[in-house]
Amino acid sequence: MKAIFVRHGESTGNIDIPCDDHTLPELTEKGQQQALDLAASWTEEPSLIVTSTFLRAQQTAKPTIARYPNAPVENWEIQEFTYLEPSRWKGTSRDIRLPRIRSYWKEANPYFCDGPGAESFDALLDRATDTIRRLQAMPDKALVYLFSHGQFMRAVSLIVSPPSPDANRMDHFWKQCTDYPIGNCYCLVVKFEELNASLEWKCRQDKNARS
């Protein structure tokens, strides 16, 4: 089977417009156009369309859902990695959060949870693993479009194509996120064949470094 993960279109959070609820940044006008262009670019009808519960992913999926009205739609736990406690950072921009972001990744504790509404890095990888297992259980010819987020897609790629055994997975993950940012509406194609899986990155839109 084949799964195509899509990062959401440009959101208000990507251009540093503060928001009180990290699940609710919406698409900008540019992001809405990216979602329309993406929907028009598909060449195959999916067996299933999946979206995270975050608004920006659901808005990105909307034109694709409209194009394929017969495809079932489901919400899965493929939302973005929230590693800072949301209540402490309401209405802040990324620049304000940056010192704590740097501190979190420098500490590199995969089991640390910052507080209510946040999750540990280990929990993120568990979500990615659960998603992969769910996809692997689907019929061989299934095609799934999953509208998700940059760091979750990185987690999927880390599980499918892990670093060397002696590498620190958390350090490797963050280096990939910073050195190779995933653009808005960038796609990660994962193909499952029996017990093997392969992945390929595809750029459909302009890059944008922030999730």
The pLDDT tens digits for 17-73 are 998 999 999 999 999 999 999 999 999 999 999 999 999 999 999 999 999 999 999
More confident residue, 62 or 194: 62
Average pLDDT, the chain: 93
Measure Cα distances from 64 to 5, 44, 192 in Å: 13, 11, 23
pLDDT at position 164 is 87
pLDDT at position 207 is 41
pTM (2 decimals)? 0.94
pLDDT at position 211 is 42
Span 109-137, pLDDT tens digits = 999 999 999 999 999 999 999 999 999 99
Please tell me the distance from the alpha carbon of residue 182 to that of residue 141, in angstroms, as a whole number. 27
Residues composing the chain: 211
Three-state secondary structure string covering 136-202 = HCCCCCCEEEEEECHHHHHHHHHHHCCCCCCCCHHHHHHHHHHHCCCCCCCEEEEEEECCEEEEEEE
Determine contact, residues 144/138, Cβ cutoff 8 Å: yes
Lateral strand order in the sheet of 73-75: 73-75, 48-51, 143-148, 2-7, 187-193, 196-202
Q: Look up residue 5 and give its two tokens.
A: 């993960």
- Topology of domain 2-202 in CATH is Rossmann fold (3.40.50)
Mean predicted confidence (pLDDT) in 65-86: 98
Determine contact, residues 12/151, Cβ cutoff 8 Å: no
Q: Look up residue 119 and give its two tokens.
A: 């999750």
Residue 206's pLDDT band (cuts 50, 70, 90): very low
**Which is nearest to 151 in space by CA: 131, 169, 133, 178?**
178
Phi, psi of 77 (to 5 degrees): -85, 65
